[in-house]
């Protein structure tokens, strides 16, 4: 199962696990416990700001986020800068951005990020730029 943090456009946050997120579908199931037997929450993708696939739920409180590409880093895909409607900025790379799709995957450029990748919901973006 994938460890995820679902951030909604209205500010809500849900943490849990999923095994059925598919970008082309408008919903998926979030389990608060990784083990079978727990009742899932139905998450509607259009309500999300982004879905973060994380290394841990705690993260590293000492880590200072960086939107700069580390010197000598090899990037896969196009470098992209996303500004969300709430003002948050995330920089990473993407191989699947299409403005006609409801969202796309982004891999953060920050090697110390707790996010392995995230699925950005296009409707939650204020601006997008390629570098």
- Could you tell me if 102 and 123 are in contact, meaning their C-beta atoms sit under 8 angstroms apart? yes
- Could you tell me if 77 and 94 are in contact, meaning their C-beta atoms sit under 8 angstroms apart? yes
46: phi then psi, degrees, rounded to nearest 5 = -60, -20
Give the tens place of pLDDT for each residue, 24-80: 999 999 999 877 677 899 999 999 999 999 999 987 777 666 666 656 666 778 999
CA 43 from centre of chain: 14
CA 24 from centre of chain: 15
Q: Where are the domains of the chain?
A: 2-58+98-123
Confidence (pTM) = 0.89
Give the tens place of pLDDT for each residue, 70-79: 566 667 789 9
Give the tens place of pLDDT for each residue, 113-131: 899 999 999 999 999 999 8
């Amino acid at each position: 199962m994938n460890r995820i943090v679902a951030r909604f456009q209205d500010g809500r946050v849900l943490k849990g696990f999923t095994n059925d997120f598919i970008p082309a579908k408008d919903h998926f199931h979030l389990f608060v416990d990784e083990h079978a037997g727990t009742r899932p929450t139905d998450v509607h993708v259009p309500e999300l700001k982004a879905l973060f696939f994380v290394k841990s739920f705690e993260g590293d409180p000492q880590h200072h986020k960086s939107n700069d590409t580390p010197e000598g880093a090899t990037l896969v895909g196009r470098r992209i800068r996303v500004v969300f409607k709430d003002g948050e900025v995330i920089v990473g790379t993407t191989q699947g951005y299409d403005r006609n799709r409801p969202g796309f995957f982004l891999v953060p450029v920050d090697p110390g990020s707790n996010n392995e990748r995230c699925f950005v919901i296009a409707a939650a973006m204020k601006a997008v730029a390629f570098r």
